[in-house]
A and B are shown apart, each in its own frame.
Chain A
């Protein structure tokens, strides 16, 4: 029996540690640990609820805007504020922008190199690469000269000894299966995607005033529309947004999706690996008739148990019997003891570190072993994220989701059960990005129609005044971060924040076991995964990366040198 430790797991900088037991070349048990603490409550307590978004937005450099969105929604829920339709549309456009940028960055910069071998790309034939690329899509950059120039730049970079972002790869690992030419296309698009992503985020600057960390507003959005005013969102700026959305849709349809399908075709064995939990949950988002009308959401809300796609359960963030957080394996203590679960409105954040002083060889997995709490929905462990969103929408009969999912399944010639896997998770992320690009266009057109019709309202007047607030109230703001269901719970007392709790997607997915010993999503997904080389556990990385781990808001790690650390212990 071998215990493999991967710490940190994230490609670029990490906050997550995985310990896996390997027997006979397969993982038989796994533990996921968030290795450093972060508690927002201290910072938010006693502040003005209207400014909470500005703090929580700083929790992370990747999903800034969704935290702000969850925050303003929690306050609006507590104070019974309904935002105007234009505000909802602008929020949807911010949301879609974030998804397009984040999913593309995840695929190319945080996940692709688990499948694409950079070193193999150095020996690809540029002419053959060009021929292949032309069969994949109509994307213009496919000449032999283009690939040969790129290869030279890559060679020079590798020869300089400054492997940098490529330094942590397991190049040459037997689990890499792509032909050299596909590898070269992958690397080319890694770099193109880097250039592309910096354009689309300009939508955030236009509607949010600045970027990173754009502005949000309780009761609406902080931008005004005036087609002739240079200081407002005017015709020129709207035209620019339109162009950015078009370019984004082109990149997604002509680069991301063809690459995803081409790569997936070589890794179909991963459609039977990494499935893990059989329960999925999505809060849903992208309201088309207001946040209060859940049935109008583009992504549906609901829960699926035991992979039964014939039944979708309702999810209610306000019901104190549904979502609870446990700490029996987390470095916290509750007033009521370690066995109880607390709904976030009653959530407590009292640290209780009982672990070893880092660096340590092995976690004490019998006791507390993570800085993440363990959330449960009606006591069930749930997977959240793109796959959960796709499955809930699919099971609810969402036509658009069904169409893109069925098309991809057909193309890859795999059954729907193939979705319950590492590959399914990665594919679901790409497929929803296609839909998001289309939906963004729809929201934009609707916004333009409103503005042309003279409706430029972006803010619910009167909601701002604390004099009108009840002395005590509570709210929940539900949204979907790119990596899964995200919610903020707020309790307001005497016009100040009394309690504020975030339950973020990586807490659902990456948390330790619950008091009954049930594994959470990461831990469960690794069971049964084959590992070819214990000292290069590429397969573990593939599955964990398929969840898009981002623990910046869940936990915080100061890793001294940001390297994958593997300790191999043979018992």
Chain B
């Protein structure tokens, strides 16, 4: 996608997180799993990492965005919630530890006007304290297939319904 006039991505699957912070990187791990899955043509998987402002372009260029991110919400580690946030205040408070929050980015998004993609968010619960590690805890590792399945189904639903 190097051309500014390229067509819109129909579905952007965006995994967010820091893979150096253990379970905090779950979103990226799920995105990596989806890279290997069978997805409809026109669905794009992006490892958003801690990309912050850099993600505005790909998100604006999508008709639909499926976000996957970690949340510290006190639920059992590995629980998955699907949310359809609109404003930043619709996001779980501790959704992100990334430098410039995705939440803030989305607000900026609405302010800039233009076409706003449909956003759904798979928020995966993680324990509050994360050590520096590239490994996931067992509970989160086990959550990957289920989360990937949910995202994959939603991506397919966007094409075949």
Q: Which A residues are within 8 Å of any B CB, using their own CB?
A: 10, 12-13, 38-40, 42-43, 55, 58-62, 64, 101, 105, 109, 153-154, 157, 160, 162, 164-165, 191, 194-195, 197-199, 201-202, 205-206, 210-213, 237, 240, 550, 552, 556-558, 560-562
Contact = CB atoms under 8 A, between A and B. Distances in A.
A115 B1 CA distance: 37
B53 A109 contact: yes
21 contacts: A13-B101, A58-B20, A61-B99, A62-B53, A62-B99, A62-B100, A101-B53, A153-B111, A160-B87, A162-B88, A162-B89, A164-B88, A164-B107, A164-B110, A165-B108, A191-B108, A198-B60, A201-B54, A550-B99, A556-B21, A557-B97
Among A60, A162, A164, A195, the one with the most B-chain Cβ atoms within 10 Å of its Cβ is A164
A212 B51 contact: yes
A5 B54 CA distance: 31
A233 B141 CA distance: 37
Interface of B: 1-4, 18-21, 47-57, 60, 72, 87-89, 93-94, 96-101, 103-104, 107-108, 110-113, 128, 131-134
A103 to B, nearest CB: 12
A300 to B, nearest CB: 29
A157 B112 contact: no
B52 A61 contact: yes
B29 to A, nearest CB: 13
Nearest to B20: A58
A62 B105 CA distance: 13
A58 B100 contact: no
A529 to B, nearest CB: 26
Contact of B94 (A62, A201, A213, A558): A558
A61 B2 contact: no
Given A58-B20, A198-B60, A558 B50 contact: no
A105 B60 CA distance: 17
Nearest to B54: A212
Among A13, A195, A199, the one with the most B-chain Cβ atoms within 10 Å of its Cβ is A13
Nearest to B101: A13
A213 B2 contact: no
A59 B54 contact: no
A213 B53 contact: no
B100 A12 contact: yes
A237 B6 CA distance: 13
A400 to B, nearest CB: 28
Given A43-B133, A59-B20, A213 B49 contact: yes
B18 A58 contact: yes
A195 B2 CA distance: 16
Contacts of B133: 42-43
A212 B50 contact: yes
Contacts of B57: 198-199, 201-202
Given A42-B132, A213-B47, A558-B128, A13 B54 contact: no
B3 A240 contact: yes
A562 B100 CA distance: 10
Among A194, A201, A206, A210, the one with the most B-chain Cβ atoms within 10 Å of its Cβ is A194
A185 to B, nearest CB: 16
Contacts of B128: 558
Given A206-B2, A557-B97, A58 B49 contact: yes
A485 B13 CA distance: 36
Given A162-B89, A198-B60, 9 more contacts: A43-B134, A59-B20, A61-B99, A62-B52, A153-B111, A157-B110, A191-B108, A556-B97, A561-B93
B64 to A, nearest CB: 18
Given A165-B107, A198-B60, A202-B4, A12 B101 contact: yes
Contact of A153 (B104, B113, B132): B113
Given A58-B19, A61-B51, A61-B99, A39 B132 contact: yes
B132 A60 contact: no
Nearest to A240: B2
Contacts of B53: 61-62, 101, 105, 109, 194, 197-198
Given A13-B100, A212-B49, A164 B87 contact: yes
B10 to A, nearest CB: 19
B54 to A, nearest CB: 4
Contacts of B47: 210, 213
B112 A13 contact: no
A360 to B, nearest CB: 17
B89 A202 contact: no
A106 to B, nearest CB: 10
A211 B46 CA distance: 9
A379 B3 CA distance: 50
A550 B89 CA distance: 24
A550 B50 CA distance: 13
A237 B128 CA distance: 44
Contacts of B55: 212
A162 B87 contact: yes
Among B48, B52, B98, B133, the one with the most A-chain Cβ atoms within 10 Å of its Cβ is B52
Contacts of B111: 153-154, 157, 164-165, 191
A59 B53 CA distance: 15
A58 B19 CA distance: 7
Contact of B2 (A59, A162, A237): A237
Nearest to A59: B20
B24 to A, nearest CB: 9
Contacts of A43: 20, 132-134
A212 B48 contact: yes
B48 to A, nearest CB: 7
Given A154-B111, A205-B2, A61 B50 contact: yes
A480 B110 CA distance: 34
A556 B131 CA distance: 11
A13 B98 contact: yes
Contact of A199 (B4, B98, B100, B132): B4
Closest 5 CB pairs of A and B: A164-B107, A212-B51, A198-B57, A61-B50, A61-B52
Contact of A560 (B19, B49, B52, B93): B93
A12 B49 contact: no
